[in-house]
Amino acid sequence: MTNLRNIVIFILVCALPHAVFTNRARDNAVRIADRYIGSTQWSYASSHDTGRNTNKCNIFVADVFDEAGGGVPHRWFGLAGPIGAGEWGNPRSSYLTSDRCWTNYPTGHVGDVIAGGGHVGIVTGRRITTSAARYSVVKNDWGFRPGQTVTYWRYIC
């Protein structure tokens, strides 16, 4: 009985704080992403971070996770911008699979990053995504529409 009690204590001490922090990080990312709905900061025409006339959905995801207390992989060991939508959409991305804070999941949950077809966003509800679109940050069913193939990544640190 003492061994069982020690095992339970070990699990609670080691696993529970990690699970609570992970849920808090995901909640923060969702709250922050939704706060930016309608913002043009990450629009195609905006000069934010990568200059005008560039897609910035990956920058949006990076900025949200930075603000939530997490982080995303960057190209060239942090000396260049965050990975692009194509890397997020690749379930075997070397950037993500070698980062201990990100893990690939077969299905998406609120707070996960969702990517495919050259676009990336954050799952912010049941079959709902918040992402930087051409003109502003939007909340819609992108990634959950019939015929779309997507990849999900979960921040676990």
85, pLDDT greater than 60: yes
17, pLDDT greater than 70: no
Whether domain 2-155 has CATH 3.30.365.10: no
Output phi, psi for 123, to 5 deg.
Answer: -70, 120
Query: Which element (helix H / strand E) includes 129?
Result: strand 128-132
Place 81 in a pLDDT band, splitting at 50, 70 and 90: confident
> Residue 129: its pLDDT value, please?
98
> Residue 78: its pLDDT value, please?
54
- In this prediction, residues 39-52 reach a mean pLDDT of 88
Higher pLDDT, 23 or 91: 91
> Residue 21: its pLDDT value, please?
39
Q: State the CB neighbour count (10 A cutoff) for residue 46.
A: 20
Q: Determine contact, residues 131/142, Cβ cutoff 8 Å.
A: yes
Tell me what percent of the chain is helix, strand and coil, each rounded to the nearest 5: 35, 20, 45
pTM, rounded to two decimals = 0.83
Distances (CA, A) of 150 to 20, 53, 125: 27, 25, 16
Give pLDDT tens digits for 98-112: 999 999 999 999 999
> Residue 52: its pLDDT value, please?
87
Task: Delimit the domains of the chain by residue range.
Answer: 2-155
The encoded tokens of residue 65 equal 């996770």
